[in-house]
Amino acid sequence: MTILNRKVFRELARMRGQVIAITLVMACGIMVYVSSRHTYIALLESQESYYTSYRFADVFAGIKRAPAPVAERIARIPGVSSVRTRIVMDVNLDVPGLDEPAIGRLVSMPDVRRPVLNDIAIQEGRYPAVGRPEEVIISEAFALANGLVPDAWIGAVINGRRKALRVVGIGLSPEYVYEVQGSGSIFPDNLRFGVIWMSRDALGAAFDMEGGFNDLAVALSPDARERDVIDRMDLILEPYGSAGAFGRGSQISHKFLSDEILGLSVSSNVTPTIFLGIAAILLHIVFSRMVRAQRDQIAIMKAFGYRNLSIGWHYLKFAFLAVSGGTLLGIVGGFWIGRPLTGMYQAYYRFPDLVYELHVDVITLAAVISVFAALAGTLHALRSAMALPPAEAMRPESPPHFRPLAMERMGLHRMLSPVWRMIFRNMERRPARTMLSAFGIAMSVAILVMGRFTFDSIDYMIDYQFRTVQRDNAAVVFAGPRPARARFELAHLPGVVRSEPYRAVPVRLRAGHLVKQTAITGLDPAGELRQLIDRDGRVQSLPPEGIVLNKTLADLLAVREGDMLAVEVQEGSRMRGSLPVTLIVDELIGTTAYMDSRALNRFLGEGRTISGAYLSVDPLRAAELYSTLKETPAVAGVAVREAVIKGFEDTIAESTNATTFTLTIFACVIACGMVYNGARIALAERNREMASLRVLGFTEREISVVLLGEQAIITLFSIPIGFLIGWALCYLAVDATAQELFRMPLVITWKTYAFAFLVVTSAAVASAYIVHRKLRYLDLVGVLKTQE
């Protein structure tokens, strides 16, 4: 080994504290990159291969009922490569062991198994046998949540008749990777919603649809234009009660999964960039200091004839060695934690097989990135080492030049003791370093804020939507419109404290060229179980006339209060008319429109008709009520509010804890790295000052104020900046994720801020303490006998 290399290794060993700090920050960055990139690729590849293997359709349409020949007309549309007609119906289920009714989505399958669009991947059991109408396959998430295995029986109310279904298989479908019922529900509730695949003959007979269908899945040829196909399909399907065809982009499961993958792709680049940026800042601070401290050594090497390049290379080796450990640790650790991270997604997204494998290109890129971070961080120090003329370098660095600065000009220094003047002047003298340190610590705060924001936001969203806007315990949906007196039948059921009927009707809303498919919900104007809240957070009463839109829907249609909307009813009379927008309300989930139920009945030209009711339920008698509802043929579905929220909160709590734990560690690493390095360098640079103060009679505690006061101020100054950066990053995240299905509110609780504050200050105090202990070994005599 050459002498210079030996110098590299010995000095790295001497600076091990700082090297460890850099290594850990680097490791975090690379770890996040490698793990999230591997997870991203795993999800993306699993999605692609799943969609291909099980023939996920490109265009979908739901209709009232159409005869079989219609499918042939669709198949003749240019660009359509294959068509699958189905019967799809949501029914009330009676699941053994579950008090409240569940909703089953019955999806027809060919009686004899053959490859079809949106095929099933059977995970367990078998395909239903021909001539066995009771045999069904159920979705895996639903089976797991309810502990259902092949040979289990479930009850279903099909077209008003109670039937027993026998589970023969457990399956998955690319159509339900994210298994939610519809646009109103955005969180999977696997206990109370499941997909049930059963024989076409059995379903057709049950719903009087022999020879007909009510759902279409269409595959396109590679050169097809989706928009054109959708337009032509809409023309053909219009007379059959079509709610409008839509592409994959609007298919709920696909939309959630794609958004998730896209989000992961963004965060797999953003988060590591933050870490690597901080690693570069640390390298910059440490190496600039090292080159300054080694001026005389650089001079001697140059005097002996070392070329500038070899000196630059010498210091670059330091940097590479300092980051190589972190890179290696990050690559190994990242690949290792990527697997459970990918697994975490399986709680929400179900694939037949999630392929997690090593990607050499990711690893290579990680190594290249870390080399760039090392170069970026040391460039400044390298240049100054190389530019130092030998004679200049032999002289000690000129004494630090202090001038009256901003503090003096403002006269603030008079309020400070000499010790605090020293602290502030030191910070002012190296503004770049102070700012970089502050930035590093601020980023660790921001990472914590951002990490916990998601959960604050979802918490708020659940609370707002399910406790402030929707105040019912359960919502009952009838199998079809019923006369208004049905509400009294409901009101007399056991445990019902209050029942408020509603009328829901599917519509197409049109404002100029903007069209939106949704439903108008007619509410009881005297009702209390649905609250309308305007954009200023005030509760508004339901206007007796006109239509109320939620903000998302109003934005999609670009309408304001007072504008007129064209309304095309998608059921029954299929009448058309127009209504004024009388109120815009703030809701976070879905695209909803409301009307006074009497005004809606009038608009539809019908008598007092209702589609279901919101119920307030006595919790003690809830079980009794739900079991009664399960047996009631007229009830097509019951959505139980608290149970859904509880289930979702439990699921999300798991990932919250894992994420918070990881981010806390990462933020601690950054905060510790910044504070430790800052204090360590301050100690090295101001060794002499500290010793002088000790000689003058200052105690260890007093000089540690001088040394660590700077770090304390930087930390305290960085925390509010970190809050701001965190807030801004959350704002961007909210903006990027705003979509039709739900809007994440920009809510960050004081708990999150307090948590970030506590974590970062604790990390700072701990690292400052390590440096404080070194003050005990200050060599008072030695330092004073030598010239600086």
Query: Would you tell me which residues interact with other proteins (CB under 8 A)?
Result: 399-404, 417-419, 421-422, 425-426, 429, 688-689, 691-700, 702, 780-781, 784-788
In sequence order, the β-bridge partners of residue 745 are: none
Neighbours of 647 (CB within 10 A): 18
Nearest approach in angstroms of CB 416 to other proteins is 10
Nearest approach in angstroms of CB 292 to other proteins is 15
CB nearer to other proteins: pick between 44 and 705: 705
Nearest approach in angstroms of CB 402 to other proteins is 4
Distance, in Å, from the CA atom of 247 to the CA atom of 252, rounded to the nearest integer, reads: 10
Nearest approach in angstroms of CB 373 to other proteins is 33
Nearest approach in angstroms of CB 678 to other proteins is 16
CB nearer to other proteins: pick between 156 and 703: 703
Nearest approach in angstroms of CB 349 to other proteins is 58
| Alpha helices per DSSP H over 606-699 | 622-630, 641-685, 687-695
Distance, in Å, from the CA atom of 374 to the CA atom of 643, rounded to the nearest integer, reads: 52
Phi-psi region at 136: left, alpha or beta (left = phi > 0; alpha = psi -120 to 50): beta
Distance, in Å, from the CA atom of 383 to the CA atom of 530, rounded to the nearest integer, reads: 67
CB nearer to other proteins: pick between 161 and 785: 785
CB nearer to other proteins: pick between 96 and 782: 782
Task: Find, among 218, 94, 75, 100, the residue nearest to 161 by Cα.
Answer: 94
In this structure, the strands spanning 135-139 and 161-172 are: parallel
CB nearer to other proteins: pick between 93 and 682: 682
Nearest approach in angstroms of CB 18 to other proteins is 23
421 to 398, 427, 580, 681: CA distances (angstroms): 21, 10, 67, 19
CB nearer to other proteins: pick between 392 and 545: 392
Nearest approach in angstroms of CB 406 to other proteins is 14
Nearest approach in angstroms of CB 787 to other proteins is 5
Distance, in Å, from the CA atom of 469 to the CA atom of 585, rounded to the nearest integer, reads: 10
Nearest approach in angstroms of CB 290 to other proteins is 21
Give residue 400's identity as a one-letter amino acid code. P
Q: In sequence order, which residues have a C-beta less than 8 Å from that of residue 697 and are 6 or more positions away?
A: none
CB nearer to other proteins: pick between 10 and 76: 10
Nearest approach in angstroms of CB 430 to other proteins is 11
In sequence order, the β-bridge partners of residue 363 are: none
CB nearer to other proteins: pick between 415 and 696: 696
Nearest approach in angstroms of CB 392 to other proteins is 18
CB nearer to other proteins: pick between 346 and 699: 699
The 10 Å CB-count burial string (b at 16+, else e) for 592-604 is bbbbbbebbbebb
Nearest approach in angstroms of CB 358 to other proteins is 51
Task: Find, among 216, 118, 785, 705, the residue nearest to 416 by Cα.
Answer: 705
Q: SS3 for 55?
A: coil
CB nearer to other proteins: pick between 153 and 402: 402
Nearest approach in angstroms of CB 405 to other proteins is 10
Tokens 């030996």, residue located: 6
Nearest approach in angstroms of CB 688 to other proteins is 7
CB nearer to other proteins: pick between 411 and 697: 697
Give residue 171's identity as a one-letter amino acid code. G
Q: If you count DSSP H runs as helices and E runs as strands, how many of each does the chain have, helices first? A: 23, 22
Instruction: Pull the structure tokens for residue 774.
Output: 């070194």
Tokens 């209060």, residue located: 561
Residue 679 CA neighbour count, 13 Å, CB half: 32
Distance, in Å, from the CA atom of 173 to the CA atom of 176, rounded to the nearest integer, reads: 5
Distance, in Å, from the CA atom of 116 to the CA atom of 83, rounded to the nearest integer, reads: 9
202 to 131, 160, 479: CA distances (angstroms): 9, 15, 19
CB nearer to other proteins: pick between 417 and 578: 417
CB nearer to other proteins: pick between 360 and 696: 696
Helix (H) or strand (E) holding 137: strand 135-139
Nearest approach in angstroms of CB 410 to other proteins is 16
Q: SS3 for 727?
A: helix
CB nearer to other proteins: pick between 728 and 780: 780
Q: In sequence order, which residues have a C-beta less than 8 Å from that of residue 777 and are 6 or more positions away?
A: none
Distance, in Å, from the CA atom of 149 to the CA atom of 146, rounded to the nearest integer, reads: 9
The 10 Å CB-count burial string (b at 16+, else e) for 233-259 is beebbeebbbbbbbbbebbbbbbbbbe
The 10 Å CB-count burial string (b at 16+, else e) for 157-182 is bbbeeebebebbbbbbbbbbbbbbbe
Helix (H) or strand (E) holding 433: helix 431-463
CB nearer to other proteins: pick between 269 and 417: 417
Nearest approach in angstroms of CB 281 to other proteins is 24
CB nearer to other proteins: pick between 418 and 537: 418
Instruction: Pull the structure tokens for residue 549.
Output: 């839109």
The 10 Å CB-count burial string (b at 16+, else e) for 270-279 is ebbebbbbbb
CB nearer to other proteins: pick between 246 and 420: 420
| Alpha helices per DSSP H over 294-405 | 295-303, 308-345, 360-387, 390-394
Instruction: Pull the structure tokens for residue 404.
Output: 């009256």
CB nearer to other proteins: pick between 255 and 688: 688
Nearest approach in angstroms of CB 712 to other proteins is 17
Q: Are 763 and 668 in contact (CB under 8 A)?
A: yes
